[in-house]
Amino acid sequence: MKNKKYIFLIVICLVFISCNEDPPVATSNEPLGFTSVGTPAQSLTEFESVLERIRTDLKIPGFSAAITKNRKIVWAKGFGLSNKERGINATPETVYHLASLTKPFAATIIMQLIEENKLTLETPISDYGIDLGTHGVIRVKHLLSHTSEGVPGSHYNYSGNRYGYLDAVISGASGKTFCQLLNEKIILPLNLILTAPNPFSPDNCLQNNQVIGQLAQGYTPNGQNPMFYPTYFGSSAGLVSNVLDMAKFSIALDNDLLLTAESKELMFTPTISNSG
């Protein structure tokens, strides 16, 4: 099999919208062999100019970005400010609330439990005391694929609230909370030193003062008004992290460090409705 080369861009911004070794990171002015859909390779300086223009045009106070290539972090940089009032620059280490980007972590935990034969995608969620009053049997796969409403499996309807019921599935199948397994199975093994459950959540099982010190200030979508982050943490939202740790997580998935290739293929296969 030919070795495939991947370029993956991770961007986390602070506008609020509802592996033990660190890989080397290129300096911001180092040329990168990066092509974009058939266009000639651009220098990092040109690429950074594009990102800065996007930030300015969309009135985003600040964001951070990282690029992985061949399963290594090759570039990372912050743009704008992580806190306008205090004049703090955004950097690759800046921590942001991930909101729904928490979901891939929860899905990974579910697939790990499946590999451990503690549940299956076909397991009814009623086995864990969950009753959503739907017409039919809701299974774990329906929560994961946002197909649990109406007749389960009949249609897609995104629902962060329903995805959050995976908390009960995880704890029921493993005897541990999502927070505990996240720490044991992903954060500590990958040395994600600036990734943690919402530090302001009462359900936080991993206190990390370093995370709080790097946490960006959130702003309303117009980028003007500071706002408080929610205190929720669960499988649907609430994780905080930075682009470097997110890149590590992505690389670990690529390298089959968290899941087998078979589990990844199953996880990434599009869901087909009951009617096909």
pLDDT tens, residue by residue, 75-91: 999 999 999 999 999 99
Mean pLDDT calculated for residue range 193-197: 92
Residue of 111 and 3 predicted with greater confidence:
111
Mean pLDDT of 227-245: 92
Write phi, then psi, for 232 (nearest 5 degrees): -70, 145
Q: What is the pLDDT of residue 10?
A: 66
- The CATH number of 99-196+230-239+246-268 is 3.40.710.10
The whole-model pTM stands at 0.85
Residue 158 has pLDDT above 50, yes or no: yes
Residue 31 pLDDT > 80: no
Residue 157: pLDDT above 50? yes
pLDDT above 90 as % of the chain: 66
Q: Is the pLDDT of residue 29 over 60?
A: no
Residue 165 pLDDT more than 90? yes
Assess whether pLDDT exceeds 60 at residue 64.
yes
Mean pLDDT over 93-114 rounds to 97
In angstroms, the Cα distances linking 2 to 5, 36, 108 are 9, 21, 27
> What is the structure's pLDDT at 73?
92
Question: Residue written as tokens 């070794």?
Answer: 21
Confidence of residue 262 (pLDDT cuts 50, 70, 90): very high
- When pLDDT is averaged across residues 213-225 and rounded to a whole number, the result is 88
Residue with tokens 């390298």: 255
Provide the pLDDT for residue 230.
Answer: 80
Residue 78, strand partner residues = 64
pLDDT tens by residue, 118-144: 999 999 999 999 999 878 999 999 999
Average pLDDT on 149-161 reads 95
> Chain centroid to CA 114: how far?
20
What's the mean per-residue pLDDT of the chain?
86
Cα separation, 110 vs 167, whole angstroms: 10
Q: How far apart are CA 53 and CA 195, in angstroms?
A: 28
